[in-house]
Amino acid sequence: MPDPSGGSVSGANDLERPGPMRDLAGRSAIVTGGASGIGLATVRLLGARGVRVLVVDLDEDGARRAAEEVGGWSIRADVSRSSEWAKVVTVAKELLGGLDLAHLNAGVTTGEAELAMVSDEAYRRIMGVNVDGVVFGIRALVPVMSAGGGGAIVVTASLAGLVAFGGDPIYTLTKHALIGLVRSLPPQLSPMGISVNALCPGLVNTPLLDGPSRELLEGSGFPLIAPEEVAAAVVACMAGGQTGQAVVVQAGIEPTAYRFSRAPGPRTDGGSPGLPPGPLLAHDQVPPTP
């Protein structure tokens, strides 16, 4: 994946990266939200690559149909509940013998632009699925992947995690949270041989767009991204050796690792730039070695 040029830093540019897993055939994977949209496209592509897939979704029938397409397995689970992840991991061990790959894709929107109109229930639901579902998922999967010698985790974030999308500010909040998590994890996961990356697709042709938004987009001629394009980027992240990246996926262009600007730091009394000591230093703010 190309990196745009410029005086900026990517997610984990100075870290030792996990080794690439270029041949995915025979490996095992889970896909959350795998019954439809981006998740279903990922299930199909992984199956075509010879990967053994466990489909995770609240839609039990949809998950079963997706799994049957690729000769895989399915489980109904609520990713927003930490107790459900213990069940997912147990089933994955029993059916797959372990886990090499994970696409943490389940997500919802509030459908509400006005913050004052977001109910407590809607807020808790979106935070549970979009944020807790990824945090609980990574926490549960890392020990399994580490025991197996490493793995690759890909999180579905959104372009809304990189821009100020006011059409659903709580959705935007959750996607910014995911990118922050993904960018901060490589120092602890890379030594275990585990990569973690976030995908940031723009507007994708999935059921999440149904309703007035779809009508508006279709009337404007704005190009939507096919779920299969996002799935291809998911698999590329799994097979590559990069980690800590936020990969932008847009219609008509190649997936691109977003370049984050280095935040300005303080100056010492002598005028030289200062960096916080030890564990207080953000790994992506260290100046690159000449």
Per-residue tokens: 43: 């299930």
Write down the H helix ranges in 14-157. 37-48, 60-70, 82-96, 120-126, 133-147
Coil, strand or helix at 61: helix
Q: What is the β-pairing status of strands 246-249 and 256-257?
A: antiparallel
Q: What per-residue string of b and e applies to 159-193 under the rule 16 or more CB within 10 Å gives b?
A: bbbbeebeebbbbbbbbbbbbebbbbbbeebbebb
Angstrom distance (rounded) from CA 187 to CA 243: 10
In 3D, which of 155, 111, 172 has the Cα closest to residue 245? 155
User: Could you say which DSSP state residue 227 is in?
Assistant: H
Select which of 73, 85, 136, 171 is catalytic.
171
Are 6 and 262 in contact by the 8 Å Cβ rule? The answer is: no
CB atoms < 10 A from the CB of 277, how many? Answer: 7
- Expressed in angstroms, the distance from the first to the final Cα of the chain is 23
Coil, strand or helix at 45: helix
User: Could you say which DSSP state residue 130 is in?
Assistant: I
Are 80 and 272 in contact by the 8 Å Cβ rule? The answer is: no
Q: Is 171 a catalytic residue?
A: yes
Catalytic residues: 171
